[in-house]
Structure 1
Amino acid sequence: MTVLADPQESTQPAPPANAPAGNVPEGRGWFRAFLLRLHFYAGILAGPFLLVAALSGGVYAITPQLEQAVYAKELHVPAVANPLPLSAQVKAAMDSVGGAAPVTVRPAPGPEDTTRVLFADKSLGESENRTIFVDPGTAAIRGDLTTYGSSGALPMRTWISNLHRSLNLGEPGRIYSELAASWLWVVALGGLVLWIDRIRRRRTSPQKARPVSGRARTVWLHGTTGTVMLAAFLFLSASGLTWSASAGENITALRTSLGWLTPTVSTALTGPASAPAGDHSGHGSASAPSSAAADPAAYDTVQRIARADIITAPMVDIKPPASEGKAWTVTEAGREWPATASAVAIDPAAEKVTSRADFKDFGLAAKLTRWAIAAHMGLLFGLPNQLVLLAVAAGLAAMVVWGYVMWWRRRPTRGSTWAMGRPAPGGAFVRGHWAGVLAAITAMVLVGMFLPLLGWSLLVFILLDTAIAEARRRRRSLEPSAEPEEVPSR
């Protein structure tokens, strides 16, 4: 929320004519000057990342409806009153791919839905599977597509998701989304502080009439929208960081140390159960199926046992054992409220449940993680969730555009073809009070250890800002006759 005001809106006295340009306010003013400068340049430099993330995220929010329209043939069939046994559907899919064993089977969740049978394919990327869509009533093959992750994203949604996550550039592209998520909360909270400070200053100013200039209206829209959507921006930043590369690893390590991971069932058929670990995020690649997966009849047995236990959700994933001597697993896969993530491990030979993880017994952190991810994807509350995400994405995009409009209207070109405005004196951070600087450095180091990309980019900003300010100071000291450079004020 950039809150840079026009010079005529200033509530501060103009600096003395002989004051050196770039002079940094003493006392509490130094931090405001630094925050103002940081907010301005963070908006200018991180703006493109935030704009792409907002637009691609907004499009992703409506992909469920797009998928239903684009892939209607693969996803839907005329209502089936009496579906064939799951084993017959799995056998039809296996026959269509030359007899390979599935890695996951998702039975049709509704009478008008198809059954998905997923196969590993070495030619595909991580977390991708070849998926055969089967008509539950006739076992006819309805489609053959690549799907991604535990959500079963189809090709169009996968492409949009990767655009939002990595600009479709693979792992190197994830730097963009991590920078956007890392800086979003900094820009949002910094903007709130500056917006509150601006309101306070206007109330104590003798010129209390609201300015009517075009830029002033843009500032008002920018600040008000950012304040209204602050909670949503913070949520998107926090939940988005869980998918990031370096910060995501730190978040996972923190969750592990605090015991906040999503419990999983033990697939061991002999010996003590293993400790819960991992979560059902869907970002891991599927393991090669064992020979047990080659028997389609086993799917009927496993499904029956699971339905007789705690598995009640319409959408479930049935996974054969990854190796010999392991159990099958059945996990509830729906993400809409109040869908759960209960899971059971099953030994079909003994026809019994060997391990279970009931969602009602999950810790609060595990539940919140699942709900937050589903809400970030627009799946938790269905259409209302999607509409909220669209509104937030539009608001974030507008914030970025308004920020650039404010800069453009105030740019101090003054004869040059390009220049960047200086909303506050350069080098404000290092010239502040030593106690405040030390406290700020400590806070930034701690944040940087947890969010490395944010820490390094913030360090680069401080070093460059200080170097540029010092270079300007020295240049002015060599030109005593030159007019002092004007410092915009609020």
Structure 2
Amino acid sequence: MKQPTPSFYNLAWRWHFYAGLFVIPFLILLSLTGIVYLFKPQLDQLMYPELLQVPVAEQRLDADRQLALVRQAYPQATIRQYLPPAGEGRSAQFVLDQGGLQLNLFVDPYRGTLLGSQDAQGTLQAIARRLHGELMIGTLGDRLIELAAGWGIVLLVSGLYLWWPRGSSGAGGLWPRLASRGRLFWRDLHAVSGFWGALLLLFMLLTGMTWTGFWGAQFAGAWNHFPAAMWDAVPQSGLQARSLNSANRQTVAWAVETTPLPASDPHAGHKGQATGMAASTQGQVGLQRVVDTAAERGVQPGYSITLPWGETGVYSIALFADDPRNDATLHLDQYSGAVLADVRWKDYGPVARTVETGVMLHEGKLFGLANQLLMLGVCLLVLLSAVSGLVMWWQRRPQGRFGVPPLRHDLPRWKTAIVIMLLLGAAFPLVGASLLLIWGLDRLLFSRQGAASRLQEG
């Protein structure tokens, strides 16, 4: 007997479950690490008050004096960054490399006391950020996160169709039937949490995708542009500003990641350009001069200063602000102190402004506690939907097999869904490639199963 040819909908049904089993662990991990990072301000103050808070005194030590104290205490270390106090009663912070270990070193800016240090990659927030962005395994982890996020969007679209309320009653689709038990109870939890959290989850996935190493980099390269004239007279290092970011520390904003990183002129300090500027014994302008430049240029507190690396490196002042309208990225020649580049919100294009605003909403920073609580609600909805989906699969899986639950036959082929899935595959190349792979494997397995059935019947 000839076996029926499976429709695209039948294939999509199986893909939905297989992809769900792949994506759900990632969604759970992203939600849990996201909650940790979401409440970073509160958790940091709770966990490290002795490092972050200091008694206020009449006058602060300048940045050069603080730097000298750190160099005296860690003569073999390479100092990477300086974070001036973000406000009164707050400590200053240096980031340095010491024997292959990156340290956060905290300094009392009023008394010059070293308050303590922490492993920059071993803090709760650093671990949560690295897990959230790359699973702590580098490029491979970044690609897996990107693939999971892309498939999350596919699951979201297909899930909305599969669980969209049908009929006049919204019970089970718009709100759970709390009196139900067993599989129906878990089905309602999955449907309702997915339905009400769909748009917010889509927002979270899309804004998160902009930071990925493959799709995010392509997206930034295509849409994130600045006038070329901004860099015409600026010596360039051949690097991009994204080189200042790392897996555990965000220095520059997404909008400026693709901008050129300028280079310093090693002869600038000998051309009379540094007259009147405090310089170190290496010919660099002093760190305090860079702090003064930030103040003169109106950069708000909370910024970091990345110190020059090599003889052509630059000082980079970067504020990745909670309100992106306050973002600032400045690069200074290390010898003359001249400002080589100054990029602000006014220089961002429409796409960059949209993405930066979305990222701040994603991280719960734009509207303070209200924004944090909203994003917490999204994370909890994702967790509820993911866990209930796993329970549903476990309850309906074919006995003795790691397979897909029986297909529902009361649903018609959804042609619009086919078009949407093809468009998503084109928009997200990793998803498209995996979609083709799954389709090929599914066809191969289905044909073998069909052949086996025909042999048995024969």
Tell me whether the two structures share a fold, i.e. TM-score over 0.5. yes
In structure 2, distance between residues paired with 1:82 and 1:264 = 42
The answer on 1:476 being equivalent to 2:453 is: yes
Equivalence map 1:445-460=2 (5 Å): 446-447=426-427, 450-452=428-430, 454-460=431-437
The answer on 1:395 being equivalent to 2:375 is: no
Distance change in 2, residues 1:169/1:301 (3 Å): closer
Matched residue SS, 1:102: strand
Shift of 1:136: 0.9
In structure 2, distance between residues paired with 1:199 and 1:181 = 28
Shift of 1:187: 0.4
Matched residue SS, 1:478: helix
In structure 1, distance between residues paired with 2:295 and 2:342 = 13
Greater Cα shift, 180-189 or 58-67: 58-67
The answer on 1:57 being equivalent to 2:34 is: yes
Give the alignment partner of residue 158 of structure 2, picking from 166, 176, 190. Answer: 190
Report Cα offsets for 1:385-431 as digits up to 9, x if no partner.
33223222221111122112222333342xx4766423258xx9xxx
Shift of 1:186: 0.7
- Aligned-residue sequence identity (percent) comes to 24
In structure 1, distance between residues paired with 2:229 and 2:341 = 9
Matched residue SS, 2:151: helix
Distance change in 2, residues 1:20/1:191 (3 Å): farther
Aligned CA-pair RMSD: 4.2
Distance change in 2, residues 1:80/1:424 (3 Å): farther
Equivalence map 1:431-446=2 (5 Å): 443=423, 446=426
The answer on 1:423 being equivalent to 2:379 is: no
In structure 2, distance between residues paired with 1:310 and 1:76 = 25
The answer on 1:407 being equivalent to 2:370 is: no
Taking structure 1 as the reference length, what is the TM-score of the superposition?
0.72
Give the alignment partner of residue 217 of structure 2, picking from 252, 256, 262. Answer: 252
Report Cα offsets for 1:227-247 as digits up to 9, x if no partner.
211122112222332343xxx
| Partner residue, 1:132 | 105
Gaps (5+ residues) in structure 1?
A: 1-18, 25-29, 149-153, 204-209, 482-490
The answer on 1:231 being equivalent to 2:211 is: no
The answer on 1:283 being equivalent to 2:220 is: no
Matched residue SS, 2:286: helix
- How many matched pairs? 424
Report Cα offsets for 1:443-480 as digits up to 9, x if no partner.
47624xx432x234323322232223223322332344
In structure 2, distance between residues paired with 1:167 and 1:325 = 34
> Do the aligned residues in 2 keep the contact of 1:36 with 1:194 (CA within 8 Å)?
no
In structure 2, distance between residues paired with 1:109 and 1:366 = 26
Matched residue SS, 1:355: strand
Greater Cα shift, 380-389 or 277-286: 277-286
Amino acid at match of 1:134: V
> Do the aligned residues in 1 keep the contact of 2:325 with 2:345 (CA within 8 Å)?
no
In structure 2, distance between residues paired with 1:325 and 1:331 = 19
In structure 2, distance between residues paired with 1:436 and 1:347 = 56
| Partner residue, 1:145 | 118
The answer on 1:300 being equivalent to 2:273 is: no
| Partner residue, 1:9 | none
Report Cα offsets for 1:261-286 as digits up to 9, x if no partner.
799986x9xx5465995458722899
Shift of 1:357: 1.9
Gaps (5+ residues) in structure 2?
A: 171-176, 252-260, 270-278
> Do the aligned residues in 2 keep the contact of 1:261 with 1:279 (CA within 8 Å)?
no
Taking structure 2 as the reference length, what is the TM-score of the superposition?
0.77
Report Cα offsets for 1:325-380 as digits up to 9, x if no partner.
665332324x3125622233445876654432232232222233333333333333
Shift of 1:442: 6.0
| Partner residue, 2:318 | 331
Amino acid at match of 2:352: A
Matched residue SS, 2:355: helix
In structure 1, distance between residues paired with 2:239 and 2:137 = 34
Distance change in 2, residues 1:79/1:218 (3 Å): same
| Partner residue, 1:83 | 60
Q: Which has the higher contact order (CA 8 A, sep 6+)?
A: 1
Structure with the greater alpha carbon radius of gyration: 1
